[in-house]
Amino acid sequence: EIVLTQSPGTLSLSPGERATLSCRASQSVSSSYLAWYQRKPGQAPRLLIYDASSRATGIPDRFSGSGSETDFTLTISRLEPEDFAVYYCQQYGSSLTFGGGTKVDIK
């Protein structure tokens, strides 16, 4: 099973700042089959990025994904108030597993 480790566990930032979230895989993720989701309390998760760097429909361009093999990054270029949430990565190259999540909260 591919284990995904997200860091940091919590990221405390101010609106307008840049957020960089990391997702590290225990082995190479084939074909960069990695997705990112945003989850807010009481809401269903929202797909942000798939195939490591493709933005899902309707996702603002301040969200970007990058990386390959074992190291992946989600970047939010300038945090908006609605971006404070928990973010999960998920790989689908070998079965399906999620990372433990990174909480982005207001500093």
Report helix, strand and coil shares of the chain as percent, to nearest 5: 5, 50, 45
Residue from 14, 41, 44, 61 binding other proteins (CB under 8 A): 44
Residue 79 to residue 30: CA distance in whole angstroms: 30
When asked if residue 90 is in the footprint of other proteins (CB under 8 A), the reply is yes
Residues in the chain: 107
Nearer to other proteins, 42 or 81 (CB): 42
When asked if residue 56 is in the footprint of other proteins (CB under 8 A), the reply is yes
Q: How far is the CB of 5 from other proteins (least distance, A)?
A: 11
What tokens appear for 27 in the block?
A: 């082995």
Nearer to other proteins, 96 or 106 (CB): 96
Is the CB of residue 98 less than 8 Å from the CB of residue 2?
no
Residue from 17, 22, 45, 70 binding other proteins (CB under 8 A): 45
When asked if residue 55 is in the footprint of other proteins (CB under 8 A), the reply is no
What tokens appear for 8 in the block?
A: 């940091």
- Nearest alpha carbon to residue 48 among 69, 30, 66, 63: 63
Residues forming contacts to other proteins in the complex (CB under 8 A) are 1, 33, 35, 37, 42-47, 50, 56, 88, 90, 92, 95-101
